[in-house]
Structure 1
Amino acid sequence: MSAVDVVVVGGGNAGFCAAHAAAQRGRRVLLLEKAPQAEAGGNSYYTAGATRMVHDGLSDLLDIVEPDERHQRAEVPPYSAADFLADLEKVTEGRGDKELARVVVGESRDTVRWLHDLGLRYRLMYERQAYERPDGSYLFWGGLHVGNVDGGVGLMADHVRVAAELGIEVRYAAPVSGLLSEDGAVVGVRVGDEEIRAASVVLAAGGFEADPQLRSEYLGDGWQNAKVRGTPYNTGEVIRAALEIGAGRGGDWSTCHSVQWDASYPQNESNRELTNRLTRQSYPLGIIVNREGRRFLDEGADFRNYTYAKYGKVILEQPGSIAYQLFDATLRPMLRAEEYDMPGIAPLVAGSIDELAAAMDVDAAALAGTIAGFNASIDDSHPLDPTIKDGRRAATDPVKSNWASAIATPPFYAYPVTCGITFTFGGLRGDTHGRVLTDSGTVIDGLYACGEALGGLFSGNYPGGSGLTAGMVIGRRAGSLA
């Protein structure tokens, strides 16, 4: 039997933030990662590194982001705490934990600066969150402007380096099989036959999105067919271990973060080389149709930051759990290069709508009718402007609220997409310090949760970039107490 001050279970962004905070207080910290070292990093490794934070505009960010000659031509609107809270309230339809939201939002800027001071590197996300205007300037949009250098790969490399500098022990291929509990308090963990005692245990091992059986049980039938975007190691056993000793369930166990994901690439699950490039997120510019050749959602309801995490579910519900994003030659140059020029991508390209329908194996008359009706209904009194919600509406059923452009100029492009699951919204019940609670609200001494293991912040949908933010804020808070 061995002993440390703090055991952190899970080596993603939230877990390392908890470990850093505890180590800065002089605690002896052991971080246990289920995956072997070559597959470590949790879901955080697979992200683009996008981090939603409160700031006062470009001048407030220049001391934490990497230099870039484009900064002098960039317009970065301020993003206030009120904006962030309103976005959380809007996309979750008011179902999120208000106090947890207030803390995550209120400490987002300070926590990013804390990590920057430790050595994490940040940049402005020109290629994902800004459009270049005709005069060569850049306008950032959607409240999400900052990300990690080299995305999730860079984020986790920086975390590992900082952990070594702080003297944190990291053990890989070390799956936790249970929690040690005495007199209602958690006093350690079990790894195989080994018992590791600790004054505090921080659970940061993600949700249950990589377990098809649990997805089907809690999210519903059909979810077993979703593609796992991130780590295959988030299978929920650490959450189950906490429930077994009396932890309560927190948040919405019936919904998750899911996106439009490449349906045709052969290695489209847990791909560590392509990571986030398998997403297809320029859909607000075009239209999306199912295998029956019909549209079924409002592609332009809002900036993609506020809709992308819920549309994977809608795709899953379509015939065959597949759909097609359609663009014409005019729109194609506007698509995100990192995703739509991905190595190995295989769009369907045709010189006519009938040829495109044949390539998609959908009814040609149905597809032609959908496109003709859409094109004829566009309000072209508004110029297309992807940097704002431009009101360029298509009065079809369903309506397209913004950015409607005719699918009219060949060649035509179809990108097959399916549902890619990112993480589950339900987790353990906890307070704003990450302390795990029972169903009755009693604190379980010695046990904390952060990141995707902590439920309550999100439900049904989420604003892009707020997952990493929540993990770092509550991870830091948990590590500051553990």
Structure 2
Amino acid sequence: MADLRKTCMGRSDPELANALVADSNSAVKWLASEGIRFQLSFNRQAYEVDGRIKFWGGLSLKTQDGGKGLIADYRAAAKRHGVRVAWSTALSGIQTDAVDGSLIASVKTNAQENVIKAGAIVLAAGGFESNARMRSQFLGPGWDLAMVRGTPYNTGDVLELGIQQLGAQPVGNWSGCHSVAWDAAANPNTGDRVASNEFTKSGYPLGLMINVDGRRFVDEGIDMRNFTYAKFGRAILQQPEQAAFQVWDSRTKPWLRPEEYREERVEHISADTLEELVEKCASCGLQNREAFLHTLREYNEAVYAHRRENPSATWDPAIKDGLSTQSSAKQLALAKSNWALPLDQGPYLAIKVTCGITFTFGGLKVDARNAQMIASATGQPIPGVYCVGEMMGGLFYSNYPGGSGLTSGAVFGRRAGKAAAAAAHKRGSRREVHMILL
């Protein structure tokens, strides 16, 4: 709860936040009982320090093989339970049957119109991160240039359908989103399902981020990566040409995650000296060589000044270690507050990054108890309609704690599933519960 308050400016809907925190443990255990494979996150949330594996940032579990493994496990569980799936299907409308109150969904499958009659519907069709027009409209100028980190199908169509056809109440941070440092050479319009999360570039706490004008623009060490990576994508987008260089020397290169930084996945800009690194970065879009070199040298001076005043301080990437650029002798206008090692031992490595958008925060209001969608005009639940995942608004503002998005999907998806099944059963029919995942 403290993490939510800190990262979301204290704006999270308290009922949603309480439900998320209270049910997180039982939801994960329920998922495991349904065949979702969890394992300790040695590669993503741990460092080996003094011979011991230390988990950091409040996360120690991940799903086996990441998102690819999670989807495979979900599909296997759905098959075991006899769940039917329709692919290449778009929702075009929902209305209520005037006779029996059931829901009628109009869908298009391969350009063919179909009608589904259901006892309840769960909407889980994501936000509008794949829609350049809506990104520019709601997130602001320049967001049409952000690269799409995930699915190309989260275009906001079902969000707009819920508001316009069902009278759902919009809520939450419509100008906010989850966005990360992303490989500048990735496909700008869609994530790669095979490469999955490997285009993310989250090693910046170990080094520096410098824009094409040669200047730093964030405190890379202000907090653990879990609490900064989802907002630093926005910071990169706000830089000239929506780009920056992540930079490390030989001290920290070995600590970078191989799946994100191996040469087979991302273009390495390598050099033996800082001067050579600057020239190579200039061929990749760096515009101010002198400023780049000045930034690095001034940073190193500040780091050494701090070391002289704090000779017993120890670098530890698994905690906020206090190794910074700020001392009585020298202070940078923009600090690096933790993990500030000198960057002066070649060979050096730079990676060019841009902004990759993951999901948007604006969504539809729901009852926290069961994720039933709330009508804008009356403030009352809309019969038989539920809303979960990234379509649900009111939980995240400006930023989010790492891992809480997937946890939210599990917690409220579970609640919605139970409530929707009960609603359909109460109607005294065999009508199905339909989950719209577009």
- What TM-score results when the alignment is normalised by the length of structure 2? 0.88
Cα-to-partner distance string for 1:322-349 (whole Å, 9 max, x where unaligned): 0001101111111111111152411211
In the comparison of the two structures, how many residue pairs are matched?
397
Query: Hey, what does 2:291 align to over in structure 1?
Result: 366
1:473 pairs with one of 377, 391, 411: 411
Aligned-pair identity in percent equals: 44
| Structure 1 CA distance for aligned equivalents of residues 379 and 220 of structure 2 | 41
The answer (yes or no) to whether the contact 1:247–1:429 under 8 Å persists in 2 is: yes
Q: Is the 8 A contact 2:226 2:402 kept in 1?
A: yes
CA distance in 1 between partners of 2:68 and 2:94 (Å): 30
CA distance in structure 2 between the partners assigned to 1:222 and 1:268 by the alignment: 15
Query: What is residue 165 of structure 1 aligned with on the other side?
Result: 80
Gaps of 5+ in 2: 327-331, 421-438
Match of 2:32 in 1: 116
The partner residue of 1:139 within 47, 51, 54 is 54
The counterpart of 1:181, out of the listed 96, 113, 129, is 96
Deviations along 1:261-319, one digit per CA (max 9) or x if unpaired, are 00024678311111101111110010110011011110000000000000000100000
* Deviating more after overlay: 259-268 vs 116-125: 259-268
Look up the match of 1:401: 337
CA gap 1:132/1:185 in 2 versus in 1, 3 angstroms = farther
Letter in 1 for 2:21: V
Match of 1:453, as an amino acid? Answer: M
Q: Which residue of structure 2 aligns with residue 435 of structure 1?
A: 372
Aligned residue number for residue 427 of structure 2: none
Deviates more, 1:159-168 or 1:341-350: 341-350
SS class of match (1:359): helix
Take 1:410 and 1:241, find their aligned partners in 2: how far apart are those partners?
Answer: 55
After TM superposition, the structure 1 stretch with the greater mean CA deviation from structure 2, 183-192 or 141-150, is: 183-192
Using the TM superposition, give the Cα deviation of residue 217 of structure 1 relative to its aligned residue in structure 2, in angstroms. 0.6
Structure 1 residues 317 and 456 mapped into 2: Cα distance closer, same or farther (>3 Å)? same
Letter in 2 for 1:420: G
Contact 2:13 2:394 in 1 (8 A): yes
Aligned equivalents of 2:181, 2:235: Cα separation in 1: 9
Provide the alpha-carbon RMSD of the alignment: 1.5
Alignment CA distance shift 1:342-1:177 (3 Å) = farther
Report if the CA contact (8 A) 2:152-2:189 is conserved: no
Q: Which residue of 91, 110, 121 corresponds with 1:201?
A: 121
Give SS of 2:91's match: coil
The one-letter code matched in structure 2 to 1:458 is F
User: Structure 1 residue 218 and structure 2 residue 155: aligned?
Assistant: no
Bigger Rg, which one: 2
Unpaired runs of 5+ residues, structure 1, are 1-84
1:324–1:186: structure 2 CA closer, same or farther, 3 Å change rule?
A: farther
> 1:338-383 deviations in whole A, cap 9, x for unaligned?
1111524112111222221221223222111111111111222222
Residue 90 of structure 2: SS of its match in structure 1?
A: coil
TM-score (norm 1): 0.80
What corresponds to 1:303 in structure 2?
A: 224
Partners of 2:375 and 2:212 in 1: how far apart? Answer: 46
1:389 and 1:173 map into 2 onto residues whose CA distance is 46
C-alpha distance after superposition, 1:437-477 (max 9, x if no partner): 12242111111000001111101101111111000100000
Residue pair 1:185, 1:444 contacting (<8 A) in 2 also: no
Q: Name the amino acid aligned to 2:240.
A: P
* Inter-partner Cα distance in structure 1 for 2:124 and 2:189: 25
Aligned to 2:382: 444
2:435 aligned residue: none
The answer for the alignment partner of 1:14 in structure 2 is none
Amino acid at match of 1:181: T
